[in-house]
């Protein structure tokens, strides 16, 4: 009996030892697999980073800007006292759901419908040239869809890059029936995650022209308020008749929108037309503010083409420029 019990104990001990060894081997194998997976992940990340650096090493630095005039000569236009001003978030030319291939002509048709003197565009995607990036939206060097559109509509163009997109350069643009005589770019980014910028331009000459500041503000209330404070100090808004316009992302009353309404001119009813989403507009995200100018009328442009071309509807205002404030004479 004792011998049998001892034999059972010895057998159990041997089984336990074997189980312990098996567990140790399994644990070591699991650790080895984890190390290999980690090393492979790190290698993949390094490869991806290197590919990205190689791909974008020659790309434009964010906030670089340029001005273009129509390639074919156009008849000089005398600036009127009352202008039609518009702003339009074109959603990277990808339509209402943002999933299709970029189609500049689709949004370009809506821009032609506006028949505006000055138009600010947000989320403008300019494709990389095919020599620097292979892709569905890559184009031949010199074939800029936005530039070609402005040629067709006989509009002057200013564009500023805010950030790099996988398909090209993303930023703000100003289109004008009148020559653009000066531009500047303001970086209003307050985090690495959300890149934001503003494009300021002088349309026409210094004596009779209009200051234009086009922007696309943050989704975050606190950040948006800081951005507004920076914009209100920009010289383009403080040297004569001017407009500040764009996608303000102000879907409710916030400090940013309150600061804009306290400092700049509004339409008399102060009810902004809803522009988002384009298919069934509920939110008034897009705004046009003025300084030394009067908004006579403001409306959204709700056409069948506009409902398909972007997730925003354009907003259009009739703006009457006021007289320039005379500087106080020096004592």
Token pair 């090393």 is at which residue?
Answer: 39
pLDDT at 25 over 80: no
Looking at residue 58, its pLDDT comes to: 38
**Mean pLDDT calculated for residue range 95-112:** 89
Q: How confident is the model at residue 133, as a pLDDT? A: 44
Long-range contacts of residues 102-107, Cβ cutoff 8 Å, at least 24 apart: 102/127, 102/137, 102/167, 103/309, 104/145, 104/146, 104/149, 105/149, 106/305, 106/308, 106/309, 107/309, 107/310
Q: Dihedral sign, CA of 274, 278, 281, 282?
A: negative
Note the pLDDT of residue 295. Answer: 92
Confidence (pLDDT) at 191: 80
Check if the beta carbon of residue 174 is closer than 8 Å to that of residue 185: no
pTM confidence score: 0.75
Question: Residue 62 — pLDDT band, cuts 50, 70, 90?
Answer: very low
Two structure tokens written together for 164: 């790099």
Nearest Cα residue to 243 out of 218, 216, 276, 266:
266
Residue 23's pLDDT is: 72
What tokens appear for 257 in the block?
Answer: 């929108």
For residues 123 and 212, give the distance between their C-alpha atoms in angstroms, rounded to a whole number: 17
Model confidence at 294, pLDDT cuts 50, 70, 90, reads very high
Taking the C-alpha atoms of residue 104 and residue 62, their distance in angstroms, rounded to an integer, is 22
Q: How much is the average pLDDT of 84-104?
A: 90
Whole-number pLDDT of residue 301: 97
> How much is the pLDDT for 16?
61
Q: How confident is the model at residue 116 (pLDDT cuts 50, 70, 90)?
A: very high
- pLDDT at residue number 17: 63
- Name the band, by pLDDT with cuts 50, 70 and 90, for residue 207: confident
Quote the tokens at residue 6: 């001892």
User: Class of 61-321 per CATH?
Assistant: alpha beta
* pLDDT tens, position by position, 158-179: 999 988 777 778 899 999 999 9
DSSP count for the chain of H helices, then E strands: 6, 12
Q: Residue holding tokens 């869809």?
A: 145
Backbone dihedral angles phi then psi of residue 310, each to the nearest 5 degrees: -155, 170
If phi over 0 gives left and psi between -120 and 50 gives alpha, with beta otherwise, what is residue 93? Answer: left
| Residue 65, SS3 per DSSP | strand
Stretch 141-170: mean pLDDT:
83
Share of the chain above pLDDT 90, in %: 45
Q: How far apart are CA 155 and CA 133, in angstroms?
A: 28
């Amino acid at each position: 009996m004792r011998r049998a019990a001892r034999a059972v104990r010895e057998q159990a001990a041997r089984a336990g030892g074997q189980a312990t060894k098996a567990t140790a081997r399994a644990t070591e194998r699991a650790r080895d697999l984890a190390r290999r997976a980690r090393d492979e992940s790190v290698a993949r990340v390094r490869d991806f980073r290197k590919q990205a650096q190689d791909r974008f090493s020659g790309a434009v630095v964010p906030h670089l800007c340029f001005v273009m005039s129509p390639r074919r000569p156009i008849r000089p236009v005398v600036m009127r006292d009352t202008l039609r001003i518009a702003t339009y978030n074109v959603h990277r030319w990808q339509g209402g759901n943002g999933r299709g291939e970029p189609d500049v002509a689709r949004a370009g048709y809506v821009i032609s419908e506006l028949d505006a003197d000055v138009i600010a565009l947000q989320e403008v995607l300019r494709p990389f040239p095919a020599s620097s990036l292979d892709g569905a939206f890559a184009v031949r060097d010199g074939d800029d869809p936005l530039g070609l559109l402005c040629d067709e509509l006989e509009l002057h163009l200013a564009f500023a890059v805010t950030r790099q997109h996988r398909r090209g350069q993303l930023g703000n643009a100003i289109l004008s029936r009148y020559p653009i005589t000066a531009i500047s770019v303001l970086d209003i980014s307050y985090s690495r995650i959300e890149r934001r910028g503003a494009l300021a331009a002088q349309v026409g000459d210094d004596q009779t022209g209009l200051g234009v500041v086009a922007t696309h503000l943050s989704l975050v209330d606190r950040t948006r308020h800081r951005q507004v404070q920076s914009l209100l100090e920009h010289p383009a808004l403080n040297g004569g008749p001017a407009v500040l316009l764009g996608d303000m992302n102000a879907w409710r009353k916030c400090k940013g929108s309150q600061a804009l309404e306290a400092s700049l001119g509004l339409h008399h009813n102060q009810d902004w037309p809803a522009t988002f989403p384009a298919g069934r507009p509920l939110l008034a995200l897009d705004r046009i503010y003025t300084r030394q100018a009067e908004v006579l009328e403001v409306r959204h442009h709700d056409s069948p083409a506009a409902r398909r071309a972007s997730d925003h509807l354009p907003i259009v205002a009739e703006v009457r420029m006021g007289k320039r404030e005379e500087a106080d004479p020096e004592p």
